Amino acid sequence: MEIETDIAIIGAGPTGLYGAYCAGFRGLRTVLVDALPQVGGQISALYPEKEIRDVAGVPGVPGRSLVAALSAQAAAYDPVHLLGRQAVELCRDADPRPVVVLSDGTAVRAGAVVLTSGIGTFTPRPLPAGEEWLGRGLTYFVPDPSAHAGHHVVIVGGGDSAVDWSLALAPLAESVTLVHRRAAFRAHAGGVAAARAAGVRIVVDSQVVGLSGTDRVERAHLRTRGEADRTVPADSVIAALGFISDLGPLAGWGLSLRGRSVLVDQRMRTGLPRVYAAGDLAEYDGKVRLMSVGFGEVATAVNNAAVELDPELSLFPGHSTESV
């Protein structure tokens, strides 16, 4: 099956959803493709309840709510969603429009392609001491904080996700212990201070060296530098050790890469004709990886793509208030 569209957006996370709105606002037909079965990217898959604070004018909003708002904004222009399908191949023929072939065999012929697939596919770094307890008290995500209500929770990690999850669970859990193998956290100092103030027990220079229980996890065994090993109660263990990302098939498309990122120019063009990139996937000198930056990048990409498809168009799309 072949689908024709003006803009094919590969990646239906926040940046891709905003790109679908920008394209729809310009009257362009849009197809959104994502390997995940739902829109929202990492936010929906990993931390839907996490507070998002780097969107201008929004002091804080749960990830789930932000995704719902972005999806509703894009839905005004009826983009086609092709979810649960990976973009595996980029093809060209006599037609200048590129064709993206999906994992189910669907071919999407687009006037332009905008890559917004973030870090690509991602898998959690395992907790070596307790992988056999996965699904029996050990998890790598917190899609529903209420599932940990009343539990003794042990969170392993020193990044923002570990600290954010400890803050989210502190009001619900019986206890929260945050274990980090170093003395210094990668997370923002303000978040660590807030966790302490919320009653989270923070254990540094420590590792979880084992988990034990009967049918489910009941205890976590800690090893702290310079101290005797100890055991803490643990009904839930959340390993927030980061993720291993992979560009997947995109790595073979002939894009100019810097590590796992795609190099773009000031118009967000990649080195391939009619292919743009925006958001965490895109790379250029001076890049700042914030969601708010991704929104600006995808607006730049879509509007430059619109002009490439029709040189008679103005690059500036006009203000949304003027269409009301």
Q: Which residues are annotated as a binding site?
A: 15, 34, 42, 47, 87, 122, 280, 321
| Strands annotated E in 23-161 | 30-34, 51-52, 61-62, 80-83, 87-91, 99-102, 107-115, 121-124, 138-139, 152-156
Q: Which uninterrupted H or E stretch holds 65? A: helix 63-75
> Are 269 and 184 in contact, with CB atoms under 8 Å apart?
no
Annotated binding site for FAD: 15, 34, 42, 47, 87, 122, 280, 321
d(CA 266, CA 128): 43
> Are 52 and 61 in contact, with CB atoms under 8 Å apart?
yes
> Are 222 and 207 in contact, with CB atoms under 8 Å apart?
yes
d(CA 106, CA 3): 8
